[in-house]
Structures are given as structure tokens and as C-alpha cells.
A and B are shown apart, each in its own frame.
Chain A
């Protein structure tokens, strides 16, 4: 029983990171109807931002850790806006396929730029937050796991607040429903899209830093697999749907952990994640929480 709850906790802390990345995919999809494949590499840049910031702040302090997190999120928000401005905005009126291929190009560019600037060798990530170990009825909980779950929950609620309660959030939903009508009522679509990218990239940066805190070895290709998993999570939960992305991420993290800890199936964990994606697309293409919107004529 202890093993079960320990695995559940392991799965939730892994799933929380998938959820953070999945939120970025889902938000951009919700507004622009395309998958931003460069998202997983912004995740990597976030981890490297944390790595370099770690040199300037004292290690093992909560405020230092939160400050590094905030700066890394800001850096990636700016990066997200720049990527959107340079790579995606010129293609605004082009078919979605063109933008999709551009996104893959930006992803490869970031990966290779990362290898060029940071070197391809994995680096040890500093311990930014104080590390303590809690033991609760035989279940071991590291403070880093709590930080991951806590930060994810906080960001999730902040995101929900922004999208549902603020003016810019209302504008985001308007652009997502109908960009033309939104611009007719005076919404600056470009501004809203830039804001969406900033928000999504900041979440990716948070995900990257939290991932690196838990698995302290970072390299320029570290985003590829978590990015793919988060994409699966976003589709699982219903792409374009914010609570869906969070649910999909947690679900995927838990399933993956239980498969990984099983006796004979651990080598199939990636296969199972993608099999889940295929099953979901076959039987419920809109995802767990997504809903079909009928094309109106």
C-alpha cells in the first residue's frame, strides 16, 4: 500500500510538469489553432536560464529560488514574443500547415543554437530551493516534489484567473472564438496573440526549471521527450481546453510512473503513452474535457 501511494506521489510530481508544458501547447492552440512545436525548446531555455541565474543567487533559499523562477519565466516570455513576432506573425494569413512547419524549424533552430551556445554536454543543475525530506507514514516526499506540485497549482489558478477574470483574458477568449469578429469590436489581435505566447512560454520556463530541479542534469535536447509527452497530455485532455491540459498531464504522469514501476512493462512506457494518444483519437477525438464545435454555415 505504501508502495502504491509512493508511486502515486511520484506520478503526480512528474505529471505536474507535463501539465505545465501542456498548458502552453493548449493555450496557443486555443487562440491560433496551431501546435507550437518550439514550445518544448522554450522549456529547455527555461532550464538553462535557471542554471545561469543559479550563479548569481544564493543556493538553498526559497526567495532565491522564486527569484530565479520569476526571471527565467520573464526571459522565456520575451523569447516567446520574439519567436511569434519573427516566425509566426508573417505567416498569419498563410495556411496552418506552413506555420506548423515553421514551428518545427524554430524548434530545430533552438535545439541547435542551444548545442552551439551551451555545448551538448549535460550539466548539473544547482539546488536552488532548500532541500529537505519529509517522511509521512513511510512515504518519502522531497521538498522539490512539493515545490513542483505547489508551483504548478499556483500557476494553474493564476492562469484561470487571467483567462476568466481579466480584460486581456476576455480578449483572448474572444480571439479564440472568432478572430475577425474580435478585431471588429476593437480588440488588437496581434497584442492578444503576443500576450498568449508570453504566457505560454513563461509556463514552459517554469516547467523547465522545475523539471531540472527534480532531475538535475540538463542538456539542449532535454525538451524533446517531455515536450512530446506534454503534447500527448494536451490532446488527451482536449486540446484548447485549459483544465483538460492539466488533467491530461497528471494522468499521463501517473500512468507512466505505474508502468515504469511494474515488473515487465517498464520498457514500454513511451509506447503506452503514445498508444493512449491513438486510442483517445480513435474513440474520443475531442479529448477528455474537450467538446466538438460544429462548423456553422
Chain B
């Protein structure tokens, strides 16, 4: 039986190998299911749209691009597994991902060791690109975002006493809190309460009651959208009417679905607003809407940009050798992306502007844009 099967298998393997050689393989790890699926889903759709557009234009270096996507189920430990698989079994030449900082931090050392370039679309934690010279990002870092928020709260909201709610098991949230705190204190602000929770917690009434007693004039919820929505809901139910604000971790549709009316008058900073009148943004909105039937959010735009920046580097390198692509990525300069011009600095971070949005009548509303 085995002898009978093996020639057939050989032929199959050869055809697979032959087709595989024709394509440029790019890996992607994303949270397509699980707790942070709202990020992973739109980010993946943006990335896929970019790959499809590139292939429609004839691909790169005379070859088609092939996107190999792996789902990490928003779970710890899964990113390492799927990235190892992408590298050792699928032999990808570059990896795109993730949105959540904690999962980018998990995969980046493995990718760095394999000497393959990684471009994270939207992880802002500063430590990620410090892991090594093969790790890049196309978004701003948390240091910048924390600074923007501290300034916004101090000068626009005119608030002096802020309480902070941090998710201690979330690298993104811990990083944001640290930077915001330093900046806000340096600007003369006062942190009146520092409360903590863990990812997956649903009851924040205890922390919010303590915050209420502290007399805070605003609350910084530095975690992700699921918790942020529940925090706002429970804060309003406890009679806490002060503004609540957060970072780009808030930017996902479930924020409004879960939070509902409690989200009115809250603020968050993010990478991109679909209401931006710039032609690059409006053009992208149309193409994304035509392909997926929904309006893009920040993750979709950044997912798209991560693939485009990588494609640009492959094209400039003129080869698919990972080391050459890395060098080309490092010299990315004034690349016209949907989320703004991208120039890689010496730390492999893109320096870009941030926008601040508020929620009014159940819709996002543009407040201001802050340049770096």
C-alpha cells in the first residue's frame, strides 16, 4: 500500500513545491478569534486588501504575493507557536503582526532569531522594536501617545486630578500608564488614585468606588476596549460623571456595542480617523468599503499600511533575501501611506501624528490631530 501511494504523494509534493516557488510568501499572525478579535479581524482585512491590490497590479519582482495567515486566538503562547510554524514550515520571507503589544512581544524574539523582518501594524509598546534590528512598526510608540493624552487632558479638558485604571496583565496598558503618569506629573498634574485589574476581569465597581472617593476629575482607562466599555458602564452606574479617556486600545466597534450610552463624552487617541478629508484616506475608505462592505477603522488602515511598507521595501531591495528587505525597510523614507507619511527612525519606529476622537450621539467625532 505504502509503495503504491508514495509515487502519487511525490507528484503532489512536486506540484506543491513548484507553485510555492512562484510566490513570495509573507506570513501574518493575528487575533482572528478570541477576546481581541475585533482588532485582528479588521487588521487582517486591511492587510489582505493590500496583498490583493498588489497582485492585481502584477505582484512584485514578477511574482505573486501569497499571504499565509495564522490565528493566535488572542491567547498567550499561541503567537509563538504559529510564528515558529510560519518560519520553519512555510518558509515565509517576512512576517506581519500583531495589533496587541503583548503578542508582538511574544513573537518578535523568535522572528529576530530567525533573521526575518517583522512589521507590526499597530503595537505601540516601545519595547517591541528594541528586541532587535529586524523588528519594525508602522505606527507611533506609546511614549508619544501618552504625551499626547497628558497634554490633551491638561490643556483641553483642563483637568488637574486624574485617576488611573491599569490592566496589570497587559503590556500595552502598563506601558501607557507609566508614560502618561510621568508626563502628566511633569506638567503639574496630580494622580489621585491608581487602581489595577487583570485581563478578563468584569467587575470594576470596587475600583471605581475607590476612585470616586478620591475626587478625581477624569479617569484614564489605559487598557483595551472590552474592559474600557465595562468600566464606563459601571462608572456611570456608580454616579461617576467625569470624563473617561483612553488610548488607541479603545478603537474597536464593540466599545460602542457593549458600552452604549455610557460612552457619551469619553475620549480616546488613535492612529486614524475615517472622517479625515485627505484624498488618501477617502480613497482607501472607498476601496475598503467596496471589498468588505464596512468602513475601515484604524487597525484596517494600519494593517493595509504594514503590507504596503513591506512591499515597497521588497521592491526597493529587488530581491526576497530577508537581510536585503530588512535594510530596505530601515531606509523607508516619506512613504505615502493611508495613515500618513512613514519614515523609519533609527529605532525602526514610524513617527506619525495621532488623532483624538470623542463619542457623541453614539458616533465617533474628530476632536484634534497632534503632530509628533
Contact A120/B258 with A133-B237, A257-B206, A266-B207 known, Cβ cut-off 8 Å: no
Q: Which of A6, A120, A214, A225 contacts B238 (CB 8 A)?
A: A6
Chain A residues packing against B (C-beta within 8 Å): 2-3, 6-7, 10-11, 14, 115, 119-122, 124, 133, 135, 140, 142, 144, 211, 214-217, 219, 222, 225, 256-263, 266-267, 270
Bound together, the chains give a CA A256 to CA B206 distance in angstroms of 9
Q: Which partner residue on chain A sits nearest B75 by CB separation?
A: A120
Contact string against A for B residues 176-198, beta-carbon threshold 8 Å, 1 for contact and 0 otherwise: 00000000000000000011111
In the complex, 13 of the A-B residue pairs with CB atoms within 8 angstroms, ordered by the A residue number, are A10-B209, A120-B33, A120-B34, A121-B33, A122-B258, A124-B260, A133-B237, A135-B239, A140-B237, A216-B233, A217-B229, A261-B207, A261-B209
Would B210 and A3 count as touching, CB distance under 8 A? yes
Interchain CB contact under 8 A, B73 and A120: yes
A68–B271 Cα distance when bound, in Å, is 41
* Chain A contacts for B74, CB-based, 8 A: 120
Chain A residues near B64: list those with CB within 8 A. none
> Which residues in A have their C-beta under 8 angstroms from that of B37?
119-121
The answer to whether B258 and A217 touch across the interface, beta carbons within 8 angstroms, is yes
Q: Which residues of A contact B226 (CB under 8 A)?
A: 122, 217
Question: Do residues B239 and A124 form an inter-chain contact, with CB atoms below 8 A?
Answer: no
The answer to whether A267 and B206 have CB atoms under 8 Å apart is no
Query: What number of B residues sit within 8 Å (CB to CB) of A?
Result: 34
Give complex CA distance A26, B33 in Å.
35
Q: How far is the CA of A257 from the CA of B204 in the complex (A)?
A: 9
- Residues A217 and B202 in contact, CB atoms below 8 Å apart: yes
User: Is B213 among interface residues, defined by CB-CB distance under 8 A?
Assistant: yes
Kindly state the separation between the CA atoms of A219 and B33 in the bound complex, as whole angstroms: 11
| Min CB gap A17→B, angstroms | 10
- Taking a contact as CB atoms under 8 Å apart, the answer to whether B38 and A121 are in contact is yes
The minimal Cβ–Cβ distance linking B42 to chain A, given in whole angstroms, is 12
B254: Cβ under 8 A from any A Cβ:
yes
Rounded to whole angstroms, the CA-CA distance of A258 and B197 in the bound complex is 13
> Assuming A11-B206, A257-B203, what are 5 further A-B pairs, CB within 8 angstroms?
A10-B205, A120-B37, A124-B260, A216-B233, A217-B202
A14 to B210, CA, bound (A): 17
**Can you name the residue of chain B whose Cβ is closest to the Cβ of A127?**
B260
Closest-CB distance, B258 to chain A (whole angstroms): 4
Complex: how many Å from CA A135 to CA B239? 9
- Are A3 and B212 within 8 A (Cβ)? yes
If the complex has contacts A260-B206, A266-B207, are A121 and B34 also in contact, measured as CB distance less than 8 A? yes
Known: A133-B237, A260-B203. A124 touches B197 (CB 8 A): no
Complexed CA–CA distance, A216 and B203 (Å): 10
Question: What residues of B have a CB within 8 angstroms of the CB of A263 in the complex?
Answer: 194, 210
CB distance from A50 to the nearest CB of B (A): 15
> Is residue B53 contacting chain A, with contact meaning CB distance below 8 A?
no
Task: Tell whether B275 is near chain A: CB-to-CB under 8 Å.
Answer: no
Q: Is the CB of B168 closer than 8 A to any CB of chain A?
A: yes
Neighbouring A residues of B257 by C-beta, 8 Å? 124
Check if B195 sits within 8 Å of A266, measured CB to CB. Answer: yes
* B65: Cβ under 8 A from any A Cβ: no
Contact assessment for B202 and A7 in the assembled complex, using a CB-CB cutoff below 8 Å: no
Which residues of the other chain, B, contact A115 by a CB distance below 8 angstroms? Answer: 33
User: When chains A and B are docked, how far (Å) is the Cα of A38 from the Cα of B265?
Assistant: 42
Among the interface residues B202, B210, B229, B254, which one has the most CB atoms of the partner chain A within 10 A? B202
A88 to chain B, nearest CB (A): 29
The reply to whether B206 and A7 form a contact with Cβ atoms under 8 Å apart is yes
B198 pairs with A3, CB closer than 8 A: no
By a CB distance below 8 angstroms, the chain A residues around B33 are 115, 119-121
Contact A258 B206 (CB under 8 A): yes
A112 to chain B, nearest CB (A): 11
Max chain B C-beta neighbours (<10 A), residue from A115, A133, A258, A261: A261
Residues in A whose Cβ lies below 8 Å from that of B205? 10, 14, 257
Task: Please measure, in the bound complex, the distance between the C-alpha atom of A23 and the C-alpha atom of B210, giving whole angstroms.
Answer: 31
Contact indicator B233/A267 (Cβ below 8 Å):
no
CB of B230 within 8 A of CB of A261, answer no
What's the Cα separation between A121 and B225 when bound, in Å? 13
Taking a contact as CB atoms under 8 Å apart, the answer to whether A6 and B35 are in contact is no
Determine which residue in B200, B205, B226, B239 has the highest number of CB atoms from chain A within 10 A of its CB, and name it: B205
Nearest opposing residue in chain A for B259, CB measure: A124
Select which of A11, A120, A211, A225 is within 8 A of B200 by beta carbon. A225
Best-surrounded residue of A120, A122, A142, A215 (most CB of chain B within 10 A): A122
Q: Which among B35, B210, B213, B239 is the interface contact of A140 at CB below 8 angstroms? A: B239
Most A CB atoms within 10 A — which of B33, B38, B239?
B239
A222 neighbours in B (Cβ, 8 Å): 202
Of all chain A residues, which has the CB nearest B35?
A: A122
- Whether A215 contacts B202 by the Cβ 8 Å rule is yes
CA–CA, A119 to B38, complex, Å?
A: 12
- How far, in whole Å, are A121 and B34 apart by their CA atoms in the complex? 5
* Contacting residue for A215 out of B34, B73, B212, B230, CB 8 A: B230
The residue in chain A whose Cβ has the minimal distance to the Cβ of B195 is A266
Q: How far is the CA of A219 from the CA of B213 in the complex (A)?
A: 32
A260 with B207: in contact, given A3-B212, A6-B238, A217-B202 (CB under 8 Å)?
Answer: yes
Evaluate whether A216 and B230 lie within 8 angstroms (CB atoms) in the complex, with A124-B254, A257-B205, A266-B195 already known. Answer: yes
In the complex, what's the smallest C-beta–C-beta distance from B207 to chain A, in angstroms?
6
Per-residue A-contact encoding for B60-74, CB less than 8 Å = 1, 0 else: 000000000000011
When C-beta atoms are compared, the residue in chain A nearest to B33 turns out to be: A120
